Structure 1
């Protein structure tokens, strides 16, 4: 998974991508699109892979997203650079969002309220005016997909070493399961399908580093407050545990 994410950054506009189109001089957002820091304020780190996030960001229409830049030269590596050094900002499609900056110079992208759930958006820019940087965004509706976000099981309600520490649902219909989080490591990843009206839930594993043999992939799910409750669904027993955990998940 680490290497797949790293490779996707390269393909999506890392070392070999082209800078986004320059903003028009008459663009009312020109100031927000333009870098506010230059020269020695923007460290030269060489031809690395620059990114805002390593995995697609999930966002709802109208949501504001902070554009904090990072660079890496290895899978899982995060090295921050000053946010004010990011310029030539652009969003694809152009009508999908608008830019602003705060007093620190950090840029923000606000997803247009007219963007439909299920749309894929990409934000692009440059670091120091020549290094391409970008990130994909999956637009979703919390009403249609209330599972999106991070969930976890409580160690105290699970057999030793069996609690899922990260269950992550994306706005694009994917989930990842991790028992021992480290950098971008995931134990396995899957596509999921959920009907909030009936509670019907299923998932299909697409790959992983540790895929348990005792998973139950079809059943029901419901949310009560900040608690996710599975019926019949079981994410599996990790190799380091003697028994699996069937406790509820917490946000």
Structure 2
């Protein structure tokens, strides 16, 4: 009995290592198939053959094909981000947003099949885990712009606008033959999106209540001078100031 107690953890460790090894091989094999032949090439039979495993292993580890594709997209997204030089945030969050935009476009053009799965492979209303991670990265950039007093519209709308513009630009470029792509399209779309969400300088006293409300709301989580209920109430008031059109609609719809 004592011998079994000692051996069991080693056996479990070995089994976990084998499972992780199989998972890594399957994901890497599926990523190669996706890159070479697109989503249709990622069949269970092709992946199992390329990875050297039996088809049931794929279902046991990933549940179904969508689970496998989600893992492949996450793997490809991480590999691409890690392949770029790690850059520390600068003191210019708008400049950092420009760099993030260019990296987003680069991901799509370098990996069109992966990008299409990442942003178009799920049913409406459902995002891939990798797309959720990418949007969270964008939201953090938008928050930094707001904290710097440069954001002209509410954070949520700014993030959604940049996301929509970036995805639309990327899909347009992917769908255009390489020799017919407009080299200025991405830059023009990027600057139009940035102009739509930012001010030229940090919010000042004469910049209006909307920009001031957006800036204060971004800094609100960092203050400990208010209780949680007080922060919630102030957040609601700031949201009303930052988005007066929505406030008017809500008041109109209220019985």
Taking structure 1 as the reference length, the TM-score comes to 0.25
Structure holding more helix per residue? 2
The structure where strand makes up a greater share of residues is: 1
Structure with bigger gyration radius: 2
